[in-house]
A and B are shown apart, each in its own frame.
Chain A
Amino acid sequence: ETGVTQTPRHLVMGMTNKKSLKCEQHLGHNAMYWYKQSAKKPLELMFVYNFKEQTENNSVPSRFSPECPNSSHLFLHLHTLQPEDSALYLCASSQGEGSEAFFGQGTRLTVV
């Protein structure tokens, strides 16, 4: 248990669905991240929030929409996804941006 909890662990959704991924950290960290992990690729940084403010958006398509209501919670809203968006989505947090990141277990997303 790393102190970062992601729900759901698994999600299957159709291309016309809207769903949300949730991440919660109990570590008192200021920075939170969304990473995408596809097979045979490095972890891809998607979004970064620092003190609830978005500081990085790595050219992520608008069908992915992050939300950070407070320093402990991070959401990823999904809308009109494509099959190639199927991947493991990992949330992480750290004390400061760029320091040791603690990861959740991830949400395994399958788009059908």
Chain B
Amino acid sequence: GESVGLHLPTLSVQEGDNSIINCAYSNSASDYFIWYKQESGKGPQFIIDIRSNMDKRQGQRVTVLLNKTVKHLSLQIAATQPGDSAVYFCAENIQAGTALIFGKGTTLSVSS
């Protein structure tokens, strides 16, 4: 089975709200995690990454939190905008020198 998964397949929010998208991973040896955004008709695009020696990393309007104790990863989007509507995937690198493993996506819908 897959190593990385997301808790909710869909998330609907109002414009301006903060969004939180969650991901649980099962391999405690994973040391690198990435969040990707995929808009309709496009390939996944990198949003933000985090290594296992950190528990928080911030970007522009996005924050990734890593809780290694419970093997949980989350993506927080501040002041969500309609352009944030997309499918969001988390991915992990289980072992150095191997390819990223992706979980199922969460579809974020933002209404104005």
Contact = CB atoms under 8 A, between A and B. Distances in A.
Nearest to A56: B99
**Contact size class for A?**
20 to 34
Nearest to B36: A103
B96 interface: yes
Interface stretch (B41-49, B55-63, B75-83): B41-49
A67 interface: no
A28 B34 CA distance: 21
A64 interface: no
Interface string A18-62: 000000000000010101000011110100100000001000000
Given A98-B32, A98-B96, A42 B49 contact: no
A105 B97 contact: no
B43 A90 contact: yes
Nearest to A31: B99
Interface in B1-28: 2, 4
A95 to B, nearest CB: 12
Contacts of B91: 101
Contact of B104 (A33, A41, A56): A41
Interface of B: 2, 4, 32, 34, 36, 41-46, 49, 89, 91, 93, 95-105
Given A40-B104, A98-B97, A106-B43, 15 more contacts: A2-B43, A31-B99, A42-B103, A56-B98, A56-B99, A97-B98, A98-B96, A98-B100, A100-B34, A100-B46, A100-B49, A101-B34, A103-B43, A104-B43, A105-B42
28 contacts: A2-B43, A2-B45, A31-B99, A42-B2, A42-B89, A42-B102, A42-B103, A42-B105, A43-B44, A43-B102, A48-B99, A90-B43, A90-B44, A96-B97, A97-B98, A97-B99, A98-B32, A98-B95, A98-B97, A99-B32, A100-B34, A101-B99, A101-B100, A102-B46, A104-B43, A105-B41, A105-B42, A105-B43
